[in-house]
Amino acid sequence: MESPTFKTKTGRVVTVEGDPQLLTMDRIQLFSEHFDSDPRIFTISIMASDNTNLNETFLRANAPAGCLIATAKNDIASDPQSASERGLWHDWWFTTSADAKRAPIIAEPSAMDLQEREDPSSSHYAAFNNTPIDLNNLTVTIDVTWLGPHETGAQVMTTAGTAALAEQPSIKSIRLVGLNELPTYAKHLIDHPKITLGGEGQTDIMWYPNQIDQRVDISQARKLGKRVITTYLDLIAYDIPKYHASPEAWAAYRAMQRKIALSVDGITTISKDVAKRLYQETPGLDPKRIQAIPLGLDHISADTEMIKPKDLTTDKPFLLVLGNDFLHKNRDFAIKVWQELLDQGHSIDLVLAGLHVKSSSSKKQEQELINKHVNLRGSVHTLGHVSSSERIWLLSNAQAVLYPSSAEGFGFVPYEAASVNTSATFTSFGPLKETMQLTNLPNGWNVKDFVDDLGALLNNQESGQNRLGQLRAGVTQLSWSKYSDQLTHLFGTIAELPAAPAVAHGSISTADSVALAQVLSSKSWRLTAPLRKLTGR
């Protein structure tokens, strides 16, 4: 049976494949005018759609597809492939009409058209992803890749933030991706009826609550969420070269962080201090798309379960330094402060609790100081990672917390200590200064200033109570419920904005960027450095 044909006003002969009843008189006129609008148009396909925004809309494609294909004959191309090779065009025409929805598909979209449906820089992405998002029934995907075996501040943020989000009335469902199984401290999340682990398809929001690095494949983000939002915890690894395997690895990491910031639809930071640094490094950011949202501080209370670490053998009063031994945590500085405190007549032990990191650790400096220690008024007790219950016991039983960190995105520890009635000393800088305007804190990292402040906290009850009162004020002001309120509001704001501009997507950090960062951080890259110098590669 011969394919139906019709002629356009300019005399172009058009053949039709598919159900001819789909080609009504109105459509013949519309297609005829469209063919005549440009001689390069070789095919027009009818595509059924549920999206009212696409009704009777033409879209350029790479090949014909759908339930009907109209082809304008010419003498340089006989089929769609040869037409494409000659530079001729294929257009799709979308309709929400019931007859098109009932009609069988005679050609599926090409691989390239399907691929570009996932690329935010393409017209196909814009066409298929511009359906309105229901702000009263938001569906959210959360990347939980960072929920490793050990719970520290970054993990607390993800677990507490997710749990609080699930209580928001406008959040319909939450899907967790990035892990096949949650660690023990996070298993309670999937007990909530709104939260599931794993799943496929696109939700309204894709949220990365932790820094995106080479562990995370950001190229999958658009498949998981119509809008992509990430949280910048800090720019510590961005600023400190020591935390990378090589100068090349550092440069790759820095480039990746800037590209990610420009490619996502929205950004949260955990303090204004981090937002300011991000603006300084990436001046092209749109201020409407970034918001500083301080974290909650009500995840610890005096009645939370606590257990004494089994490796802690002392019954003497102790100072606590809590945190992994990254150089910026300044645990070696804390030992010097404690030793000076002993020399002034105090009798007190020092507990260092936290993991030894594989690189960029202060372990060597700490050990040198401990080996030289001779003052019998106190001893050092070094613990590895402590569980949540052990952490709370240490915070509750310490005479004071020594927190000499010099790089933070927020700074949980002093507030966690105050939650269980323990005062803390730390330098007034950045986010720690911003969260609560505390008085009489050390202004820098000077042993004498820390010794003086600790001495006042230990010897003067009024000083200790004043510090506790100020810290508790911060705790009462910042809750995870308030955090989730602001985060949900940002989700809605970003949902109402269009996807990030195409100019930014030109520098999107895809799997290639992640692979590059992995290579630059790898042992093989370091080992082949001498060879690259010789070859110039």
Q: Give the span between the Cα atoms of 51 and 204, in whole angstroms.
A: 16
Pick 467 or 359 by higher pLDDT. 467
Identify whether the C-beta of residue 448 lies closer than 8 Å to the C-beta of residue 419.
no
Q: Give the span between the Cα atoms of 136 and 491, in whole angstroms.
A: 11
Q: Give the span between the Cα atoms of 18 and 69, in whole angstroms.
A: 7
The whole-number average pLDDT for the span 167-179 is 96
pLDDT of residue 303: 67
Two structure tokens written together for 180: 């096949």
Q: Going from the N-terminus, what domains does the chain have, and what CATH number goes with each?
A: 5-117 (no CATH), 138-296+490-527 (3.40.50), 318-477 (3.40.50.2000)
pLDDT of residue 215: 73
pLDDT in tens, 197-213: 998 888 999 999 988 87
| Mean pLDDT, the chain, whole residue set | 88
Query: DSSP state, 47?
Result: E
Q: Give the span between the Cα atoms of 140 and 224, in whole angstroms.
A: 9
Q: Give the span between the Cα atoms of 272 and 232, in whole angstroms.
A: 11
pLDDT of residue 354: 92
Phi, psi for residue 223 in degrees, rounded to 5: -75, -20
Q: Give the span between the Cα atoms of 242 and 106, in whole angstroms.
A: 59
Half-sphere exposure of 413 (CA within 13 A, CB side): 25
Maximum Cα interatomic distance, the chain, rounded to a whole number of Å: 105
Query: DSSP state, 10?
Result: T
**Total residues found in the chain within this entry:** 537
**Cα angle 382-386-388, degrees, rounded to a multiple of 5:** 150
Q: Lowest mean pLDDT of 125-139, 233-247, 411-425, name the range.
A: 125-139
How far out from the chain centre does Cα 182 lie?
18
pLDDT of residue 301: 66
With b for 16 or more beta-carbon neighbours within 10 A and e for fewer, the 283-302 pattern comes to: eebeeebbbbbbbbbbbbee
Instruction: Using the predicted structure, report yes or no on whether residue 518 has a pLDDT greater than 50.
Output: no
Pick 262 or 402 by higher pLDDT. 402
Identify whether the C-beta of residue 13 lies closer than 8 Å to the C-beta of residue 72.
yes
Identify whether the C-beta of residue 224 lies closer than 8 Å to the C-beta of residue 177.
yes
**Cα angle 242-243-247, degrees, rounded to a multiple of 5:** 65
